[in-house]
């Protein structure tokens, strides 16, 4: 289970000013201009294609992933962004929450194949704190994704921090088995940002044959030589990389490149994981363990996690301070509602606005219905939970009229009623109701939820109508 929590110790952040950089797209070979721009609170990350009519925007959303071949490609309304992961990893690694990324091509500049230059640009722009608190998802249970075809898997477990561990094994002697671990995001800039992308010689040959990596050179990718370097292959590489001479170093990589770390491949895979999981759209407090990660397994795990998070977010219990005086006590509630004990199921109103209400019901053994529901195992009837929801909704509705004592609310319809967990004596029920549509002609459509100890116990959609009392 995953819980959404406001981090009161941490505010959202954006950059202080716009900053630009340029380079070439690794696959297109075209010059690309990219600009980071400050964005408002809760904006998140989004790409803007300035080279297209209307400057369409593609949000950094895992549900927009359409391809994971040689990078993560996003597409919205026929407009795409390729190899988004290095840019996004830099933003996450620098703990920047809200940025608009303007780009005049379908892919960001590859630079040196790492996040280093994007990090430097963000630092140059400066980072400023915003007023709104960050929200983060705290992982409480183990969540995993396994890809049978590749044997890759990703698991997230509870942790006090956002941690990532990657384990890389491609079954080749030249690369071997590598591991990398990031214990804190603060390590990203100095220990992971400059880890460059890598490829095997046989993959380079295939990409060249398919007209890709037009923007590649020996400075933006580590090439592991996993096969004999024939004269034919040598000729192709010389032409592609505009080099007079190419050789293999003693550590099995093509020349003109020195590894930053012995485990640079594992570090880059960790960078990719951070960039791909940025597409979830929220901060995570948990430890990610990725075994043989790749863009496909990263984003499939991201989609699974995103779905879980969205569901939990919809069903998250309201954060209330029970030590504060209520907005309405039971006597004030009875001035609005016609219900009276033993059929009054609302003890307090804790919050109320034009569109929502939060109410409370203390469940005690003294309730009349416990005598028969059930003997020796008392359970609060589900139908009465719905009735309590309706009473809270009645207060919400009647709060919109100047003379609520002259009106009644009546059920018109109940939809999608679900009961998740039993409610027993001693429980405190928190009810949250929100308008699903504006009040029209005295009819209101509401979504109601009931929680005990942060756990959703019941929910339903309610349709009700306000009717003026008839004079006797």
| Helices vs. strands in the chain: H and E counts, helices first | 9, 24
Name the active-site residue from 260, 339, 356, 373.
Answer: 373
Encoded tokens for 303: 């989609």
Residue 4's closest CA among 280, 357, 303? Answer: 280
Encoded tokens for 350: 């804790």
Task: Report the greatest alpha carbon distance in the chain.
Answer: 103
**Phi, psi angle pair for 351, to nearest 5°:** -145, 150
For residues 260 and 193, the answer to whether their CB atoms sit within 8 Å is no
H-state helical runs in 252-342: 264-277, 295-314, 330-336
Identify the sign of the CA torsion 287, 455, 459, 7: negative
Q: What DSSP string runs through 111-169?
A: TTSSSHHHHHHHHHH-EEEEEEEEEEEEE-S-EEEEETTTTEEEEEE--SS-EEEEEEE
| 196 DSSP assignment | P
Name the active-site residue from 268, 295, 339, 445.
Answer: 295
- Whether a cis peptide bond, with omega within 30° of 0, leads into 374 is yes
Q: In whole angstroms, give the CA distance from residue 227 to residue 169.
A: 17
373 is catalytic: yes
260 is catalytic: no
Q: Which residues are annotated as catalytic?
A: 295, 373
């Amino acid at each position: 289970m995953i819980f959404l929590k406001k981090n009161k110790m941490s505010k959202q952040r954006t950059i202080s000013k716009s900053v630009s950089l340029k380079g070439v797209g690794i696959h297109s070979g075209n010059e690309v201009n990219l600009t980071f721009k400050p964005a408002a609170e809760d904006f998140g990350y989004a790409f803007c294609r300035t080279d297209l009519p209307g400057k369409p925007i593609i949000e950094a959303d895992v549900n927009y992933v359409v391809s994971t071949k040689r990078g993560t490609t996003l597409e919205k309304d026929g407009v795409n962004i390729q190899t988004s992961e290095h840019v996004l990893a830099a933003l996450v690694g620098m703990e920047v929450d809200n940025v608009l990324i303007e780009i005049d091509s379908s892919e960001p500049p590859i630079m040196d194949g790492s996040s280093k230059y994007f990090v430097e640009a963000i630092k140059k722009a400066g980072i400023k704190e915003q007023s709104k608190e960050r929200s983060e998802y705290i992982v409480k249970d183990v969540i995993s994704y396994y890809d049978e075809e590749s044997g890759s898997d990703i698991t997230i477990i509870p942790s006090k921090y956002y941690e990532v561990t990657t384990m890389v094994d491609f079954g080749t002697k030249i690369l071997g088995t590598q591991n990398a671990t990031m214990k804190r995001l603060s390590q990203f800039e100095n220990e992971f940002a400059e880890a460059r992308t890598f490829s095997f010689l046989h993959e380079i040959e295939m990409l060249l044959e398919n007209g890709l990596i037009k923007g590649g050179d020996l400075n933006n990718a580590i090439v592991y030589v996993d096969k004999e370097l024939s004269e034919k292959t040598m000729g192709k590489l010389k032409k592609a990389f505009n080099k007079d001479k190419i050789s293999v170093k003693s550590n099995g990589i093509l020349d003109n490149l020195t590894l930053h770390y012995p485990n640079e491949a594992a570090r880059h895979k960790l960078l990719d994981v951070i960039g791909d999981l940025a597409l979830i759209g929220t901060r995570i407090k948990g430890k990610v363990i990725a075994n043989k990660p790749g863009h496909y397994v990263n984003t499939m795990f991201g989609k699974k996690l995103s779905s879980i998070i969205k569901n939990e977010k919809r069903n998250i219990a309201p954060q209330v301070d029970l030590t504060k005086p209520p907005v309405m006590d039971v006597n004030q509630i009875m001035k609005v509602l016609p219900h009276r004990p033993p059929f009054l199921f609302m003890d307090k109103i804790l919050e109320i606005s034009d569109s929502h209400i939060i109410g409370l019901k203390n469940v005690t053994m003294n309730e009349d219905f416990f005598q028969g529901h059930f003997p020796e195992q008392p359970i609060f009837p589900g139908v009465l939970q719905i009735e309590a929801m309706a009473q809270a909704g009645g207060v919400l509705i009647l709060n919109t009229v100047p003379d609520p004592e002259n009106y009644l609310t009546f059920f018109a319809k109940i939809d999608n009623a679900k009961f998740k967990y039993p409610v027993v004596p001693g429980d405190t029920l928190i009810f949250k109701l929100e308008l699903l549509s504006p009040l029209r002609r005295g009819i209101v459509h509401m979504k109601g939820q009931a929680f005990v100890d942060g756990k959703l116990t019941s929910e339903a959609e309610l349709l009700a109508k306000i009717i003026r009392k008839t004079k006797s």
